[in-house]
């Protein structure tokens, strides 16, 4: 029979699904009657069933190796509180504290793994990865500090300490027995987050170095140096998060940091400069800048800004975020708050003063000031017109006020308006943007919208709208970029070739993998660096797979076969129902993660990015990898039509399956073949692997 949750074919009488762990039947301990998995009481004798569960609509996430940002939060002074308060009163304090933490964590995509008294353990990146996991963890931590500090609990001021660490863990491992069985994460990263929390001062958020690398362009941090933490062998570099940066560009970071190298986008840059010259002369323009993640959209915009530094103009930048897609006009509000210089401790009166100092000298209508103040969440002031109107009418008036403000700025000097990551824009922002684009005629404004190809923009084909698609770098350009990132440091030619081959011409991938190789080479002087996918890319790549539940397991098995894999070999290695396999492959192809040639059962597939294949493979548990490789070996040895006949490839699969004697034999055959062709280097490699 098939599993009702995942469709896996199961033997008769199975109590649990062998693929997803779903409970299939519950046996009554009193009368031995077999009941449905979601039954609470026995249908035969009526006794309450032990071990019953609600049937999940989706399979439970399997245990995986994956990159997480882990947050550990602790209530300060809970022991003195417990001595001073009645247990019921203490319980109320703990409930309020946990509720505040849960609300803050939920807003930023965290998964609460465990409440342990006054401690809360939170995962960012499981059960679903997001490319903003580290950012979400830090934003949630700062929000927790504020929310708990503002909790009115019996006149007691509450405070928390927070520690955050990022790294590889075993996630989704089942621990416990019976009703206490739950999925958890295991690894040093969890201990590190707890230790950082333990040394934090009340109200502080401490993070480790891998987390800092991912968030340093967005948050101000103060380095604490290398710290020796209890239970950890090596010292750990730690940072204290001070708050969000006021800079409105992901490249506007500390003076010690430099822009990533700009390589071979001269044609695209010249096109943007031409559109700027047209806009500056009163012919408003829109450029739609499309490209896959990491292709260099933001870097091209930064290069344009550098060319315009000497020209009088205003730059208005709006940054969309997946963490705020449900917040109306979030990019607009964030821009206004940055420009006004709002600080965390500002009173409503101070905020009003800052707003008036900006708008009143420009003779902004008083109703517009009131509308913008209301948009920013500021209480009304009596000297402004009342806004006692319907929500729809207020929205229309607010949009008109924002548009007038933009026109006023354009009359002072040309405006460069940048809206980045429009694929994450909220509906209200898109509605406002549509209105602004419709009013560009005769204004010295250039609007540049950056987005990913899967986002459908409604303005293609409009007058004064230009679509620019950024392509990948060639191998020569990729090598040039890697050399610039190295900045005089040395990596072996063979390692550089691997970097170029694995990064597929994506500038961000090239930069991050090169930096990772340099750091690894520095840490392990004299040895060959391991070319592993850095944490800065792990979440970005894994997030796309996590959004495709049916496809992910298929991708993992395909990744074990190689970057290229055939349908027959995949079907044999996967051992899953044909319907599920077809659904998974369809999702992978539709998402653009793999390319397909031909039609099943004669189809062959190729991962679009080598790094996606690597991340999918790395997420598989070592024990499960061995099983998959063993199936591949059995299939290939039994039928040459699967196409896995190269001895070195068979040796690789045997080695990963733990079939070491077989692996040595295949590597000897591969070495002998290479020797016949006088390929000395290849011969040596095969024989060394065999040994």
The residue-averaged pLDDT of 524-551 equals: 76
Residue 140's pLDDT is 96
Q: What is the residue-averaged pLDDT of the chain?
A: 84
Q: Domain containing 609 — which CATH number?
A: 1.10.10
**Rounded CA gap, 443 and 284, in Å?**
5
pLDDT band at 254 (very low <50, low <70, confident <90, very high): very low
- Residue 348 and residue 286 share a domain: yes
Annotate 620-665 with DSSP letters as a single string.
S-HHHHHHHHHHHHHHHHH-GGGS---HHHHHHHHHHHT-HHHHHH
- Residue 499 and residue 460 share a domain: no
Annotate 413-424 with DSSP letters as a single string.
S-EEEEEE-GGG
Q: Is residue 72 within 8 Å of residue 121, measured between CB atoms? A: yes
**Rounded CA gap, 598 and 606, in Å?**
12
Q: Per-residue pLDDT tens for 299-328? A: 999 999 999 999 999 999 999 988 888 889
Residue 255's pLDDT is 37
Q: Which residue has the higher pLDDT, 337 or 55?
A: 337
- Residue 651 and residue 672 share a domain: yes
- Residue 315 and residue 379 share a domain: yes
- Residue 309 and residue 214 share a domain: no
**Comparing C-alpha atoms, which of 436, 485, 486 is closest to residue 462?**
436
- Residue 283 and residue 137 share a domain: no
Whether residue 598 lies inside any domain: the answer is yes
Whether residue 255 lies inside any domain: the answer is no
- Residue 397 and residue 374 share a domain: yes
How many C-beta neighbours within 10 Å does residue 112 have? 16
Whether residue 533 lies inside any domain: the answer is no
Whether residue 634 lies inside any domain: the answer is yes
Domain count, the chain: 5
**Rounded CA gap, 658 and 690, in Å?**
13
pLDDT at 588 over 70: yes
Q: Which of these ranges, 75-89, 99-113, 466-480, 494-508, has the smallest mean pLDDT?
A: 75-89
Whether residue 308 lies inside any domain: the answer is yes
Q: Domain containing 168 — which CATH number?
A: 3.30.70.1230
Q: Per-residue pLDDT tens for 118-154? A: 899 999 998 888 889 999 999 999 999 999 988 777 6
Angle formed by the axes of helices 680-690 and 660-676, to 10°? 170
- Residue 300 and residue 391 share a domain: yes
**Comparing C-alpha atoms, which of 330, 396, 382, 397 is closest to residue 352?**
382
CA distances from 454 to 298, 451, 457, 610, 670 (A): 17, 8, 9, 20, 44
Peptide bond into 127 cis (omega under 30): yes
- Residue 389 and residue 299 share a domain: yes
Whether residue 582 lies inside any domain: the answer is yes
- Residue 458 and residue 337 share a domain: yes
Domain that holds residue 56: 1-60
pLDDT at 5 over 60: no
Residue 524's pLDDT is 54
pLDDT at 671 over 50: yes
pLDDT band at 55 (very low <50, low <70, confident <90, very high): very low
**Comparing C-alpha atoms, which of 123, 65, 121 is closest to residue 98?**
121
């Amino acid at each position: 029979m098939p599993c009702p949750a995942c469709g896996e074919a199961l033997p008769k009488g199975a109590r649990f699904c062998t693929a997803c762990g779903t409970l299939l039947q519950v046996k009554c301990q009193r009368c031995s009657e077999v009941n449905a998995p979601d039954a609470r009481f026995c249908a035969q004798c009526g006794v309450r069933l032990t071990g019953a569960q609600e049937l999940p609509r989706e399979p439970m996430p399997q245990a995986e190796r994956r990159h997480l940002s882990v947050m550990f939060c602790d209530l300060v002074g809970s022991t003195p509180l417990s001595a001073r308060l009645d247990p019921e009163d203490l319980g109320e304090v703990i409930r309020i504290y946990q509720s505040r933490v849960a609300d803050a964590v939920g807003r930023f995509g965290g998964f609460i793994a465990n409440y342990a008294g006054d401690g809360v353990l939170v995962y960012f990146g499981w059960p679903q990865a997001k490319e903003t996991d580290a950012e979400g963890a830090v934003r949630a931590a700062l929000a927790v500090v504020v929310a708990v500090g503002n909790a009115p609990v019996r006149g007691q001021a509450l405070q928390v300490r927070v520690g955050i660490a990022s790294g590889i863990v075993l996630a989704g491992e089942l621990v416990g027995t019976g009703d206490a069985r739950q999925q958890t994460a295991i690894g040093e990263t969890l201990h590190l987050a707890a230790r950082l929390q333990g040394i934090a001062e009340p109200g502080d958020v401490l993070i480790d170095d891998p987390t800092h690398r991912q968030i340093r362009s967005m948050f101000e941090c103060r380095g604490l140096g290398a710290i020796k933490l209890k239970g950890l062998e090596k010292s750990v570099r730690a940072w204290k998060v001070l708050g969000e940066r006021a800079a409105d560009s992901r490249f506007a970071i500390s003076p010690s940091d430099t822009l990533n190298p700009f390589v071979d986008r001269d044609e695209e840059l010249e096109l943007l400069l031409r559109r700027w010259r047209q806009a500056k002369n009163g012919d408003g323009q829109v450029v739609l800048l499309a490209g896959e993640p990491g292709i260099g959209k933001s870097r091209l915009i930064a290069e344009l800004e550098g060319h315009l530094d000497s020209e009088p103009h205003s730059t208005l930048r709006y940054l969309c975020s997946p963490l705020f897609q449900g917040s109306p006009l979030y990019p607009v509000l964030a821009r206004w708050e940055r420009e006004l210089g709002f600080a965390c401790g500002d009173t409503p009166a101070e905020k009003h003063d800052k707003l008036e100092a900006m708008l009143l000298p420009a003779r902004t209508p008083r109703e517009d000031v009131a509308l913008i103040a209301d948009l920013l969440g500021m209480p009304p002031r009596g000297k402004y017109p009342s806004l006692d109107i319907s929500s729809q009418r207020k929205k229309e008036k607010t949009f008109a006020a924002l548009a007038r403000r933009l026109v006023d700025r354009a009359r002072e000097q040309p405006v460069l308006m940048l809206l980045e990551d429009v694929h994450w824009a909220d509906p209200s922002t898109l509605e406002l943007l549509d209105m602004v684009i419709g009013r560009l005629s005769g204004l010295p404004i250039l609007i540049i919208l950056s987005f990913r190809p899967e986002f459908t923009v409604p303005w293609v084909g409009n007058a004064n709208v230009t679509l620019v698609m950024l392509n990948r770098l060639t191998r020569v350009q990729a090598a040039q970029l890697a050399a610039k990132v190295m900045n005089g440091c040395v990596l072996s030619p063979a390692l550089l070739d691997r970097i170029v081959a694995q990064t597929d011409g994506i500038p961000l991938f090239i930069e991050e993998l090169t930096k990772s190789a340099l750091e690894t080479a520095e840490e392990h002087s004299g040895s060959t660096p391991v070319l592993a996918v850095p944490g800065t890319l792990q979440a970005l790549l894994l997030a796309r797979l996590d959004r495709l539940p049916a496809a992910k397991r298929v991708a993992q098995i395909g990744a074990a076969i190689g970057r290229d894999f055939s349908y027959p070999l995949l079907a044999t290695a996967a051992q899953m129902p044909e319907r599920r396999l077809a659904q998974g492959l369809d999702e992978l192809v539709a998402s653009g993660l793999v390319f397909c040639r031909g039609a099943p059962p004669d189809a062959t597939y190729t991962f679009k990015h080598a790094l996606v294949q690597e991340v999918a493979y790395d997420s598989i548990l070592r024990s499960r990898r061995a099983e998959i490789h063993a199936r591949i070996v059995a299939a290939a040895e039994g039928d040459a039509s699967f196409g896995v006949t190269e001895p070195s490839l068979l040796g690789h699969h045997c080695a990963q399956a733990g079939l070491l004697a077989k692996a040595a034999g295949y590597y000897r055959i591969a070495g002998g073949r290479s020797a016949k062709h006088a390929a000395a280097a290849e011969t040596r490699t095969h024989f060394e692997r065999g040994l």
